[in-house]
Chains A and B, each alone.
Chain A
Amino acid sequence: MTNNTVVEEIELEAWVKQHGAVQPPLAKHYLVRIDDRSYKVDDPVITGGQLLDKASKRPVDEHLIFQVLHNGQLEEIRLDETVELRKPGIERFITWRSDRSFRFVIDGRRFEWGAPIITGLKLKELAGVDPKSYGVWLEVRGAEDRPIADNESVDLQAPGVERFFTGKKTTTEG
Chain B
Amino acid sequence: MSFLPSNDRQYLENRGLPFEEVVDASQKGVILREFQLPPGRFDTEQADILILLPSGYPDAPPDMFYLLPWVKLVQGAKYPKAADQAHQFNSQKWQRWSRHNNEWRPGTDGIWTMLKRIENALEVAA
Contacts and interface: CB of A to CB of B under 8 A. Distances in A.
Contacts of A81: none
Nearest to A139: B14
B113 A145 contact: no
Given A143-B16, A173-B100, 4 more contacts: A139-B14, A167-B117, A170-B120, A173-B98
Contacts of A108: 7, 108
Contacts of B121: 171
Interface size class of A (residues with CB under 8 A): 20 to 34
Interface of B: 7, 11, 14-16, 81-82, 98-101, 103, 108-109, 112-113, 116-117, 119-121
Contact of A171 (B15, B16, B101, B112): B101
A29 to B, nearest CB: 48
Nearest to B109: A167
Contacts, number: 61
A167 B16 contact: no
B15 A173 contact: no
28 contacts: A107-B108, A108-B7, A135-B116, A137-B112, A139-B15, A141-B14, A141-B15, A141-B16, A142-B16, A145-B15, A167-B109, A167-B116, A167-B117, A168-B113, A169-B117, A169-B119, A169-B120, A170-B101, A170-B117, A170-B120, A171-B120, A171-B121, A172-B100, A173-B81, A173-B82, A173-B100, A174-B82, A174-B98
A125 B81 CA distance: 35
Contacts of A142: 14-16
A107 B98 CA distance: 27
Interface string A138-173: 011111110000000000000000010111111111
A137 B115 CA distance: 12
